[in-house]
Amino acid sequence: MSGVERKPLTVEQLRGMDKPTPVWMETDKKTIEGWGGYWCLCQRGHILTPGMVSMYADKMDGATFYAYPPARIDREKWELCMWCVPNGQFGVNNYCSACGRPLTEEAWAELERKLIV
- What pLDDT digit, counting tens, does each position of 8-66 carry? 999 999 999 999 999 999 988 766 666 778 899 999 999 998 889 899 999 988 899 99
Per the CB < 8 A criterion, the answer to whether 83 and 98 are in contact is yes
Q: Is the pTM of this model over 0.85?
A: no
Q: Is a pLDDT exceeding 50 seen at residue 2?
A: no
